[in-house]
Structure 1
Amino acid sequence: MDHNKVIERALIHIEGHLQQSLTVESVANTFNMSKYYFHRLFSAMVGCSLNQYILSRKLNASLTFIQNKNSSLTDIAYQLGFGTQASFTRAFKRQYGVAPSSLKTGLTTISPVPIPTVVKRPIKNINGDIVTDFTLSEFKETRISGIAFEVDLANDDYKEKIRAHSEMLLSHIDETIKGPCYVIYSNCQPDSTRFKVLFGIPSSIEIDKPYFFTVDVPQIFCARFNYCGEILDIGDILKSDYARFLKISRQETAETDIELIQAFNDVHHLDSTYHIYAPIKKLPTDSYL
């Protein structure tokens, strides 16, 4: 069974039946799966429960109905399966922070979002539940040369800043340099939105620029995950995957400045799959690794 395709089809099915009664059992039956396994699979792949997802998509669909201005809020509430207009309004305010009436009057504009893309990654069963596949391993001590900079996740331009600095390093690397590439994210301060980023390679390169550095990354015990897709666009899935992994595997995060390491096999092919190394504490049962 291709679990990625199952969830992709499930999202399409849900979107086409938002005005009908949808339950875990009814959706699971559509794909000839037990409701228990399907719910675990869906939660692991999407990052929220099926009921939470259905509610969010119903509210997303309501945006179009409200902006068409052909139906009352009561009609929209019943059309999407809310028991009353009051329950619809409460759910809408929880998700969007404003009452649906503010869209009706034109005071606020909220655009609907498309069906989310399923982030393709392998999964595994552990302790009777489903998590993104992982391997416990050591990230070996490595000397990395590259470009270091700082970003603030609270600013809207942080993605563009990371991409621009990455391209800056690549412009100084020719095709004769082969091998892996690393993007290392470290937290500047506890509970801060500002991160230090190092984009580099394990090769000796010397570039006479103020933002180019060589650092020695120490050996770190990590949980290693495998992903495909732009990491800056899958941040929410990555966070939910990691939280689910910690809960189900009963591992603990390590006290280290490094938050995570993104590792590509080829510095010239950054659109390929990559590994994520997340530092964790080494438990006595992990001593053989």
Structure 2
Amino acid sequence: MEHYDVIENALHYIEDNLQQPLSLDSVANTFNMSKYYFHRLFSAMMGCSLNNYILSRRLNASVTLLQNDTLSLTDIAYQFNFGTQASFTRAFKRKYGITPSSVRGSDTPLTPLPIPSVVKRPIKNINGDIVTDFTLTEFESIRITGIVFEVDLETEDYRMKIRSHIKMVLDHINTTVNGPCYVIYSNCHHNSTRFNVLAGIPRDIQIDKPLYFTIDVPQIFCAKFRYSGDLLELGEVLKSDFARFLKISKQESENTDIELIQVFENLHNLESSYHIYAPIKKLPIDSEI
């Protein structure tokens, strides 16, 4: 069984047993794994500890019960193993910024979130720490033709916006063209989640439309990561992976206008496998880790 299958099964097991005592030992034993290895694997794959994840899912499940007036706050606290109503209330307010009692009768009720998906990516063990597999490599200079636009990664529509703009590019080229598709993020606004984006293909094609450009991307030294599934659902996972990579490899991110390069293997299938290139500083003597 692949490592991401183990974690995916663990998420469903946890969800089915939120009202039961859960611990690192009990969950790891369910999957016949060492608790130490399971803890490292879970943290690497989900970006948080098992205990924090269980707490978050219990609070998430409590939202549904809070919207049902038949149970008291004490009953809900006991059902989800909080011990006391006070500890449940404190945890709930830390997560949602409101008290559980205020959820009842609210004009803007909270919506429980589904079980998160597990992003598929290869991993490796470095000195006892599990990290997403990476390669230190040069991103070779390339000419890209595409459309330039802006996205805010904190808005719910950014995935749709990227897809729609890639479709716009495909609508202006020969549909028989195959190969990779590039999404290049640059010039992030300070203390913001807004990026300039170029979505395009490695061709020198003149498209006489507003916002279409042919741009030469320079050679950049990068950390290269491989993922599969829906790239645009990556979210916090990449941030966690990259931060862990910088810590373990003792590398530093590069100060460049280009923040990130995403390369889909198939421009006609945005759920295909893909690589992510994150610019890093090139040390005087580089070696594979």
Question: Quick one: distance in 2 between partners of 1:47 and 1:193?
Answer: 19
CA-CA distance at 1:210 after TM superposition: 1.6
Counterparts of 1:126-275 in structure 2, within 5 Å, are 126-275=126-275
CA distance in 2, matches of 1:58, 1:287: 44
Letter in 1 for 2:204: S
Amino acid at match of 1:270: L
> Is the contact between residue 124 and residue 133 of structure 2 (CA under 8 Å) also seen in structure 1?
yes
Match of 1:113 in 2: 113
Partner letter of residue 111 of structure 1?
T
1:127 and 1:249 in contact (8 A); partners too: no
Unaligned ranges ≥5, structure 2? none
Q: Distance in 2 between matches of 1:266 and 1:139?
A: 18
Q: 1:207 to 1:119 in 2, by over 3 A?
A: same
- Normalized against structure 1, the TM-score is what? 0.95
SS at match of 2:136: strand
Paired residues of 2:230 and 2:272 also in contact (CA < 8 A): no
- Letter aligned with residue 89 of structure 2: T
> How far apart are 1:161 and its partner, in Å?
2.2
Q: CA deviation at 1:270?
A: 2.6
Alignment of 1:11-90 (within 5 A): 11-90=11-90
Deviates more, 1:183-192 or 1:3-12: 183-192
Which amino acid in structure 2 is aligned with residue 158 of structure 1?
Y
**TM superposition shift of 1:118:** 1.0
C-alpha deviation, 1:108, in angstroms: 4.3
Deviation at residue 70 of structure 1 after TM alignment: 1.3
Q: Deviations over 1:95-133 (max 9, x none)?
A: 111110011233541111111111111111112100111
Look up the SS of the partner of 1:173 in the other structure: coil
Give secondary structure in 2 for the equivalent of 1:54: helix
4+ residue stretches of structure 1 with deviation over 4 A? none
Percent sequence identity over aligned pairs? 69
Give structure 1 stretches of 5+ with no counterpart. none
Q: Tell me the CA shift for residue 42 of structure 1.
A: 0.3
Q: Which amino acid aligns with 2:117?
A: T
Give the distance between the partners of 2:107 and 2:267, measured in 1 at CA: 48
- Alignment length (residue pairs): 289
- Aligned amino acid, residue 41 of structure 1: L
Point out the more displaced range, 170-179 or 44-53: 170-179
